Structure 1
Amino acid sequence: MKRKTTSCCGMPAEKGDPATEIPEQIQTELDAMGGLEALASHIPPAAELEMRGKIYQALSDPLRLTILYIIKDQPLCVCVINRFMRLSGSKLSYHLTGLKEAGLVEGTYEGNWIIYSITDRGRRLLQCTEYAVR
């Protein structure tokens, strides 16, 4: 009968199973940096990861990128954005909400109108996307 051990992931493993053992070089380097605890300390807090996910999701949609470009130079009301985008009101609202949750745009009330403008974060990230494709 083969002796059972625990793999690096805490799962039962057969001793000598190459799929569950950490390669020696990786284990040495991992130990030198302080082990799994040190590796875990390099991961941002969950709230920050969630925000980054929202940002990447917002920037991954061509419609949202178009909205950012539209309001990059001038804050605009929803009616102007909608005339340009030609989206249903609910679809435009959905995309603006995603951009707001990611901190890329902000809306301010002026009477009965909501005027959308790009935030500093949105402007910086839009420039990064331009740089990334050059």
Structure 2
Amino acid sequence: MEATEIPDSIKCEFEEKGGIDGIVELLPDDQRIGYINSIARAISDPVRLRVLFALCIQPMCVCLMVAMTEYAYSKMSYHLSTLRDSGLICSKHEGNYLIYYPTDLGRKVVELIGKGL
């Protein structure tokens, strides 16, 4: 597919990249887009985003996150599962408690979002 009329200000660079076909080749593949989309969905909810930011400040057990958000345990469990499934948080048992931590990816996401604000 070839563009016939485009502004001169982008025409040269567009052609250097191989036109539409060249740009399409530079796009992430469907698997990568799906992965990025899962991360975007995970942080699209204000509660999950707040929890992710909080975990980057301090690892916590569910009871602390429930107190912080005033959400029911069942709702918090859902949000934590979404964050965990997207690879943004992980957890480990400490005695009777399950402590949640941000993953390296979770920290990077918070850092990128935080810098943009």
| TM-score, reference length from structure 1 | 0.69
Give the structure with higher Rg (CA). 1
Q: How far is the alpha carbon of 1:87 from its aligned partner? A: 0.9
Q: How far is the alpha carbon of 1:92 from its aligned partner? A: 0.8
| Pairing partner for 1:88 from 53, 68, 72 | 72
Q: How far is the alpha carbon of 1:91 from its aligned partner? A: 1.3
Q: How far is the alpha carbon of 1:83 from its aligned partner? A: 1.8
Q: How far is the alpha carbon of 1:53 from its aligned partner? A: 0.9
Structure 2: how far apart are the matches of 1:55 and 1:68?
Answer: 12
CA RMSD of aligned residues (A): 2.4
Structure 2: gaps of 5 or more residues: none
Structure 1: how far apart are the matches of 2:52 and 2:37?
Answer: 18
Structure 2: how far apart are the matches of 1:31 and 1:131?
Answer: 33
Structure 2: how far apart are the matches of 1:125 and 1:37?
Answer: 31
| Pairing partner for 2:4 from 23, 29, 33 | 23
Matched length: 113
| Pairing partner for 1:76 from 57, 60, 74 | 60
Q: How far is the alpha carbon of 1:62 from its aligned partner? A: 1.4
Amino acid across the alignment from 1:51: Y
Structure 2: how far apart are the matches of 1:99 and 1:83?
Answer: 18
Task: Tell me which residue corresponds to 1:124.
Answer: 108
Q: How far is the alpha carbon of 1:52 from its aligned partner? A: 0.8
| Pairing partner for 1:58 from 32, 39, 42 | 42
Structure 1: gaps of 5 or more residues: 1-7, 9-20
Higher helix share: 2
Q: 1:33 to 1:84 in 2, by over 3 A?
A: closer
Aligned identity (percent) is 32
Amino acid across the alignment from 2:4: P
Structure 1: how far apart are the matches of 2:35 and 2:115?
Answer: 22
